[in-house]
């Protein structure tokens, strides 16, 4: 695990340097969805502290105790969020990367008010306008950013997952353009297969699972025990 982590960090730093950025200009979110406890504990022991999860309940099970043991963790929600789980998400996560609709902005703002704290978010943009994919359409991104700000959410940046069957560069470029015109700095883009390209297009955070942990088993596959 330590070797995989070091290799990913090295590749990230190389990609930063190759595009004239500081070697630490992009941060690493380790995506722990579906990973067994041993893998999570191993990457914690290797020094990783920023983690991404897709599902609120799965993340609660994996992180509630570990969070108490490791006070410097940063947990990021990178999967779709239902409005009825907004309060749970605000309670567990430091940053919610998947704000993609007005109703969810309202639910997150209400949860933040109730919890008495600021809610940090990224707006997820469906850069490929794929019907099955989460994310606000690019032409509605400015409006959602403005609404979220007016509700008191702390909008830090944008996130995207490019279409699987297209070269990702133009999607990363679009996300960067949308961020700049909204005065946003954070760009969460790039996964195991395309993080070097994402860094070239200005990613400030890449989300990496399989390059660290190996290929995931399908969620419902029986454990090999
Ligand atoms: C699973 C997931 C990742 C990590 O994907 P890998 O290809 O395993 O690196 C990144 N972002 C999101 C939103 C994910 O759901």
pLDDT in tens, 88-116: 999 999 999 999 999 999 999 999 999 99
Angle at 101 between CA 95 and CA 105, to 5 degrees: 50
Percent of the chain surpassing pLDDT 90: 95
User: How far, in Å, CA of 59 to CA of 44, rounded?
Assistant: 15
Residue with CA closest to ligand 1 atom 7: 192
Ligand 1 contact, 191 CB (< 6 A)? yes
What integer best gives the mean pLDDT of the chain?
96
* 222 band by pLDDT with thresholds 50, 70 and 90: low
Residue 54 CB–ligand 1 contact under 6 Å: yes
**Atom from ligand 1 closest to the CA of residue 191:** 9
Q: Quote the ligand 1 centre to 195 CA distance (angstroms).
A: 11
Give the confidence band of 219 by pLDDT, cuts at 50, 70, 90: low
Confidence band (pLDDT; 50, 70, 90) for 215?
A: confident
pTM of the model: 0.95
161 lines ligand 1 (CB under 6 A): yes
Other beta carbons less than 10 A from residue 6's beta carbon: 12
pLDDT at 210: 97
**29 CA distance to ligand 1 middle (Å):** 10
Asked if 133 contacts 171 with a C-beta cutoff of 8 angstroms, the reply is no
Mean pLDDT of 200-220: 89
pLDDT at 147 over 80: yes
Long-range contacts of 213-220 (CB under 8 A, 24+ apart): 213/4, 213/32, 213/35, 213/39, 213/43, 216/33, 216/34, 216/35, 217/34, 219/34
């Amino acid at each position: 695990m330590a070797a995989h982590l070091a290799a990913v960090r090295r590749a990230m730093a190389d990609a930063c340097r190759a595009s004239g950025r500081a070697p630490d200009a992009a941060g690493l979110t380790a995506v722990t969805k579906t990973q067994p406890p041993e893998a999570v504990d191993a990457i914690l022991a290797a020094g990783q502290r920023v983690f991404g999860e897709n599902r609120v309940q799965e993340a609660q099970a994996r992180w509630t105790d570990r969070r108490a043991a490791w006070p410097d963790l940063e947990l990021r929600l990178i999967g779709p969020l239902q409005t009825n789980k907004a309060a749970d998400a605000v309670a567990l996560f430091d940053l919610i990367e998947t704000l993609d609709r007005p109703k969810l902005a309202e639910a997150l703002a209400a949860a933040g008010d109730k919890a008495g704290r600021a809610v940090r978010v990224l707006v997820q943009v469906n850069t490929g306008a794929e019907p099955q994919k989460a994310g606000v359409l690019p032409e509605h991104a400015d409006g959602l950013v403005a609404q979220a700000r007016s509700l008191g959410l702390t909008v830090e940046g944008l996130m995207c997952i490019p279409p699987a069957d297209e070269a990702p560069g133009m999607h990363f470029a679009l996300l960067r353009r949308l961020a700049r015109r909204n005065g946003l700095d954070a760009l969460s883009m790039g996964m195991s297969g395309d993080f070097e390209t994402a860094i070239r297009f200005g990613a400030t955070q890449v989300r990496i699972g399989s390059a660290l942990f190996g290929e995931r088993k399908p969620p419902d596959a029986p454990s090999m025990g």
